[in-house]
Amino acid sequence: MKKLDFLIPIMKQYEIYLSKEKNEDYEINPEQFDKFRELFLQFEQITKNCDGIFKPIQMIPKELHGYLTATFIVFNIYGSDLLNFSKALSNASAISIDITGKKVEIDIVVPNIFRKKQN
């Protein structure tokens, strides 16, 4: 048994749950979406400054959260860029930094940028 095999039944249940949900039953959560937008703008600027590659954003309302991913050969930020990015990161619920080959990939999640519509 592999270390993460215990997650397989949980993931299957999550997939079943999502398959029953419809994107049109969700709306933007303005407060969280503003945090996502702020982080997006900071991350986009840093990506440009560091010659990184920003992966296209896919907005899937029924998944609730916003995801940002960028890949860098070198990720160097200093001074006000570092301060602003750090402040923006405080709105994230998860940050993943992975090294693949000679590249660094950074994934960021901002929670609850969508919410279920109230009837």
Contact partners, residue 3, CB within 8 Å, separation at least 6:
none
Q: How confident is the model at residue 110 (pLDDT cuts 50, 70, 90)?
A: very high
Contact partners, residue 32, CB within 8 Å, separation at least 6:
66, 110, 111, 112, 113
Return the ∠ at Cα 21 (arms to 19 and 24), rounded to 5°: 130
User: What is the domain partition of the chain in residue ranges?
Assistant: 24-116
For residue 18, pLDDT over 70 is answered with no
| 24-116 CATH fold | Heat Shock Protein 90 (3.30.565)
Q: How confident is the model at residue 72 (pLDDT cuts 50, 70, 90)?
A: very high
Tens-place pLDDT, residues 40-49: 998 898 899 8
pTM of the shown model: 0.79
Per-residue model confidence (pLDDT) at position 103 = 92
What does the block give as tokens for 56?
């296209």
The overall average pLDDT reported for the chain is: 88
- For CA atoms 79, 81, 83, 86, give the dihedral sign: negative
Per-residue model confidence (pLDDT) at position 58 = 80
What does the block give as tokens for 44?
């986009």
**68 has which bridge partners?**
108
Nearest to 110 by CA among 25, 6, 37: 37
Quote the longest CA-to-CA distance of the chain.
50
